[in-house]
A and B are shown apart, each in its own frame.
Chain A
């Protein structure tokens, strides 16, 4: 008899001991998973730093040994450079297998970069090259700091934090702490752990989120769609009314961080190269004319004066048209492939060969 034709029953919620056992199995597994993963020697993150950026940094710091080539940059590097392609092309160009590691940290700024260099790179520098993708955004910030969330924008606390933000942060922390209960379950499914023999052998590695490496690209796609829907407002660099970009003061944490970066980089045994990632044509004119000019006049000369090579991929002949971009400033897969190739042929392979010749 179809349920619809059955005579109505009195309202009832007829769950019993068996369903309680289902709940118990769920809760016990969830709680045990963290302990099991920790016992296996895998690092799980604290709830309050449960962010992609922290995960990637932790992943880098937990690597058992230094890489040959390290590429550091913002989300433009995360979605715009493919370490696998770089590695393959270097093998063809240099004639040997080199280990390439990419650290694309959304919202990276000099203040944070200097800490990363001091606490990570300087202690275990890459064997051949360090490539840093630098950009004018490193040195500007929106004037109405309340709109800026220091966690997401990477703005140093002195520039961005105030009470309302701290309030949100606390709420976020509570939410993150709640969901972090499931971190152990997530870690169990880390496929690198299961399939990659090197990772398995290393044991003490950070358990990375399976989807994480693609989430940035996916976010860029959503961002690009939203940008297209906002006619005349093609990128998130558009600020709300009443806000404007301001060049950071000489004594700001970012300028201070940049100075510290240069000091640390001068002492590294590897070669250090700077690049600027591609942008869509017209972006600078629409958003950061004066800031880009200051970047070229004040920052780039300091790099070259310090003896570092600088390659501007945001100029011709590098990708600059829409088919290569998710958004005005973030490359899509096609742009990523081209840029990775350009980076190797224009900078990395010649630098390594020159280094070998010395």
Chain B
């Protein structure tokens, strides 16, 4: 069920109404949200609900057993069980064919021709997100940062909470679990802020991302050779804004939807293309994943505590695995490696502070944006040849593709999402929220019209595949 679908609109209105009717009793309220979450997921493919239930049961039991035990070796074994169980399922569904195929190729190179057993595996949507979420729960308990949740219902809701189940933000148990038993309160300001987030997320997803995707980016990737250099560059920038609009739009809708139900999920994006350095980029892009990788991978590897060389190795390893998290493809690995090297380069170049002066600041931002866009070429390309073809198209004198007027308009809107400073955007938001209620309703109606126009593009969220 997509957030930008009519089915979801009806589904959410029903859930919202029932939830606030049941607000006084925790168990029925949690049961409702859990049932709604399973329905939301099952609407896509009910068979994979089993995997969510498996993760839920495994980590709840592991967490409980770990909480009862003081024996370090037993706690380590339990953690290992959680890691093997969760990563085993993730690995099978996401990486089995990739590694089996690559192994077969490797063996073929040395003269052995095994019968590679490749399976027709469908990737369960959202598996990478909820796997990381449940892993953080058991790891936090192992580290002593969290006490195990006693209620299986609350824990199940933590794993399956529908606003963020299939594409994040990846929430931590210590942030989310305490919110479940708290009596929900829907203040008018929270309601309006949630509504604003949902609508703005819809615009980012449906108008910016889907429109740029269908009208500019997809034709480009279908055949970069038909594009002239200038338009190729525009298409690459277009992809940067498409993936931003798609994913941050989803996050905004998830956060807004959760807020209407009385939950706080935290920010997942902060105008990432305003970054002035690679390290700043990762504090603005997919914050919940980058902070997960930092806390559960980079720091345990030693972080920056063991000298420069080890820091660089740790950065590269973390980003390589971060790349692989996105999918079983060497291009994602290459993208991760590129960002690892970028982080190292940023440190070597001393790009640690925000430059002073507007010119230096915007120059750095522009340079950083070009580097990120180069990374997106690796990310979007199905293989090296496609990436090369896209990059060489930058040198083409002129091509057949004519950029439609609407694309320029949408592109301008996309750029505008990043130009104003945070304070300015906050003032704009506050200004909108200060409008009379009727005027806000008019604005929402007009936005719905715009969104419904572009809704027929029926483009799934990019991050669903991860």
Contact = CB atoms under 8 A, between A and B. Distances in A.
Contacts of B195: 22
B458 A25 contact: no
Interface in B224-280: 226, 264
Contact of A189 (B20, B188, B453, B459): B453
Interface in B149-195: 175, 178-179, 182-188, 191-192, 195
A16 interface: yes
A75 to B, nearest CB: 15
Nearest to A217: B214
Contacts of A231: 120
B43 interface: no
Interface in B407-444: 409, 436-444
Interface in B178-230: 178-179, 182-188, 191-192, 195, 210-211, 214-215, 218-219, 222-223, 226
B183 A22 contact: no
A332 B437 contact: no
Given A188-B449, A231-B120, A333-B219, A11 B183 contact: yes
Contact of B185 (A14, A17, A188, A212): A14
Nearest to A212: B456
Most chain A beta-carbon contacts within 10 A, residue among B185, B186, B192, B215:
B185
Given A211-B457, A334-B222, A179 B441 contact: no
16 contacts: A4-B175, A10-B185, A11-B23, A11-B183, A13-B186, A15-B191, A19-B188, A24-B437, A25-B438, A27-B441, A185-B446, A209-B456, A214-B215, A222-B458, A332-B222, A334-B226
B121 to A, nearest CB: 10
Contacts of A219: 458
A182 B226 contact: no
A24 B219 CA distance: 42
In which size bucket is the chain A interface? 35 or more
Given A4-B175, A9-B185, A211-B456, 7 more contacts: A14-B187, A21-B437, A22-B438, A26-B441, A182-B449, A218-B459, A334-B223
B27 to A, nearest CB: 13
B259 to A, nearest CB: 11
Contacts of A3: 264
B39 interface: no
B164 to A, nearest CB: 17
Contact of A4 (B214, B264, B436): B264
A215 B223 contact: no
B392 interface: no
A13 B409 CA distance: 40
B182 A8 contact: yes
B20 A337 contact: no
A182 B450 CA distance: 10
Nearest to B182: A8
Contacts of A179: 6
Contacts of A29: 441-442, 445-446
A18 interface: yes
Contacts of A184: 449
A77 interface: no
A188 B443 CA distance: 13
Contacts of A13: 20, 23, 186
Closest 4 CB pairs of A and B: A25-B441, A185-B449, A21-B437, A29-B445
A286 interface: no
A334 B221 CA distance: 10
Contacts of A23: 441
A333 B446 contact: no
Contacts of A22: 192, 195, 437-438, 440-441, 444
A210 B410 CA distance: 13
Given A218-B457, A218-B459, A185 B186 contact: no
Interface of B: 6, 20, 23-24, 120, 122, 175, 178-179, 182-188, 191-192, 195, 210-211, 214-215, 218-219, 222-223, 226, 264, 400, 402, 405-406, 409, 436-446, 448-450, 452-459
A59 to B, nearest CB: 15
A239 interface: no
B185 A11 contact: yes
B281 to A, nearest CB: 26
B454 A25 contact: no
Contacts of A337: 223, 226, 400
A193 to B, nearest CB: 12
A19 B449 contact: no
A25 B184 contact: no
Contact of A215 (B183, B185, B222, B456): B456
A134 interface: no
A256 to B, nearest CB: 34
B109 to A, nearest CB: 26
B178 A4 contact: yes
Interface in A117-154: none
A149 B439 CA distance: 43
Interface string A213-243: 0110111011000000101000000000000
Given A11-B23, A185-B448, A195-B405, A218 B438 contact: no
Contact of B223 (A19, A191, A214, A333): A333
Contacts of B215: 214
A29 B437 CA distance: 13
A217 B459 CA distance: 11
A148 B120 CA distance: 29
B24 A11 contact: yes
Nearest to A18: B437
Contacts of A215: 456-458
Contacts of A4: 175, 178-179, 264
Given A18-B188, A185-B445, A210-B454, A25 B439 contact: yes
Contacts of B184: 11
A24 B449 contact: no
A20 interface: yes
Contacts of B440: 21-22, 25
Contacts of B175: 4
A259 interface: no
A354 interface: no
Nearest to A192: B406
Given A23-B441, A29-B442, A182 B448 contact: yes
Interface in A50-90: 52, 84-85
Contacts of B454: 210-211
A168 to B, nearest CB: 16
Contacts of B437: 17-22, 24-25
A189 B226 contact: no
Given A22-B438, A218-B459, A30 B445 contact: yes
B124 to A, nearest CB: 14
Given A12-B186, A13-B186, A186 B452 contact: yes
A185 B120 CA distance: 44
Contacts of B445: 25-27, 29-30, 33, 185
Max chain B Cβ within 10 angstroms of own Cβ: one of A25, A211, A333: A211
Interface string A20-46: 111111111110010000000000000
A261 B88 CA distance: 62
Nearest to B195: A22
Given A29-B445, A215-B458, A209 B405 contact: no
Question: Which residue of A13, A33, A209 has the most chain B CB atoms within 10 A of its CB atom?
Answer: A13
A185 B452 contact: yes
Contact of A214 (B182, B450, B457): B457
